[in-house]
Structure 1
């Protein structure tokens, strides 16, 4: 995704090429997306693996609406499938040009390989060269499955705080619009790590990625971003939280910065039956 991460959506996700304007995902994320052919560097993924991924995702998100959380057994089923995926199953390999920084003078550019989306769910792969960053963003009303296929990255995620720590009397929102958030995850993940799942209200709904090495992250999310539904992607700046007893690293103030994040979008060939 040029595409603007406005999913994940994630987060991260190009617009549905067959959807009506009403059903299109976030315009902030997709404002300047142009349809592009798949890169010649991509390899052809096995049809069976892609079909299983599509069929399982469709079943898990068959009732998807904003705020929808799949049943636990459905979450476990899709997560287990993603845990077993290898790069060749989805048609990628580390030697592809999208995992290299072509411009040494600027920040490494992220590429999004778009496989499928509809009003219920979408899935695709974020390709990050070493040191590339996907900035802190949210996933309004969405459940998102993330699996690293290769490489290593640092993941930091937050959920909105329900109360101030240690019975502190500070409000949950400042006069300038910053909101208090609690750290959910602050760790390094690689291909051996299991699928992470974030939910509309918990699990690290706001997150950012920093590539320690070139890496690939597969996202399955539902429902996709949709500006018309008031579910556009927002980006945030972090600042330390100071309680009455001093600093508290478990919390930060997050303030929306009204920026966008531009990625290169690549439309992948659809090698499965819809």
Structure 2
């Protein structure tokens, strides 16, 4: 029990416990096993391909995804970090591939989608855009989307639906033509040095369009993915600017039919992932 020394309590020294040689050996073996397990886990993590790491992290983060799902900030940062580190060779693409060429000037450049994986919880793949190719303004209903440019540069314009009219503007959020008011979220050029762009079900630029300034590749992770049967079909929009002055920008967006089509290609097995 503690003893009193100069007004302070000091614990009595504990008796020394002597371990038998057998106990010492057992303790040493247990410690060695723990060290080996740690090393095996570390080695397994290092041996995973970048795409396998992307898959494993996406599966974990989107395991509970449903329409409107938003991952917590630390999970968003973790997945964004993996995407930020990806290089074109990690995913088997480079600008010399035919998907990034456009020889016929009489027709618009065609976008190709390289499919890696999809399930009810998430999907990911790469959009390949020749120079001047456009992915028209479209939405991502109930989805969280991570987009990372792997090479090239593109112009990104994105919107979020307006929740209230612009200040000092007494207007309805939907006009008589069926167009809805949307506020510009992003209007800028991005390239491979840009960090991952994340859009959410209700903000962050849920409606966006891409215009390739050079041949470029962008990897998208979506959770949950598009699913027409579940009401998550892709809609396309025309935009008409609504001028208000100042720094904020708004447009009227009206859903329109579209003839936009992409060519879909399954990636080779060597770049596949293990579920």
**Normalising by structure 1, what TM-score?**
0.80
User: How do residues 10-159 of structure 1 correspond to structure 2 at under 5 angstroms?
Assistant: 48-159=49-160
CA distance in 1, matches of 2:258, 2:231: 17
- 1:47–1:260: structure 2 CA closer, same or farther, 3 Å change rule? farther
Contact 1:240–1:249, Cα closer than 8 Å, also in 2: no
Unaligned runs of 5+ in 2: 1-46
Contact 2:239–2:254, Cα closer than 8 Å, also in 1: yes
Residue 208 (structure 2) pairs with residue 211 (structure 1): no
**CA offset digits 1:76-119 (Å, max 9, x no partner):** 00000000000000011110010001322100000000000000
CA distance in 2, matches of 1:47, 1:56: 12
Larger relative contact order (CA 8 Å, sep ≥ 6): 1
3-state SS of 1:120 partner: coil
Match of 2:253 in 1: 254
Contact 1:156–1:186, Cα closer than 8 Å, also in 2: yes
- 1:81–1:75: structure 2 CA closer, same or farther, 3 Å change rule? same
CA distance in 1, matches of 2:98, 2:248: 38
Match of 1:37 in 2: none
> How far is the alpha carbon of 1:258 from its aligned partner?
2.2
- 1:264–1:233: structure 2 CA closer, same or farther, 3 Å change rule? same
**CA offset digits 1:170-206 (Å, max 9, x no partner):** 1000011100000000000000000000000000000
**Normalising by structure 2, what TM-score?**
0.80
Unaligned runs of 5+ in 1: 1-45
- 1:78–1:248: structure 2 CA closer, same or farther, 3 Å change rule? closer
> Greater Rg, structure 1 or structure 2?
2
Q: Which moved more, 1:207-216 or 1:49-58?
A: 49-58
Match of 2:200 in 1: 199
Residue 229 (structure 2) pairs with residue 238 (structure 1): no
CA distance in 2, matches of 1:90, 1:187: 26
Match of 1:166 in 2: 167
Report the aligned-residue RMSD.
Answer: 1.5
CA distance in 1, matches of 2:48, 2:104: 34
Q: Which moved more, 1:167-176 or 1:246-255?
A: 246-255
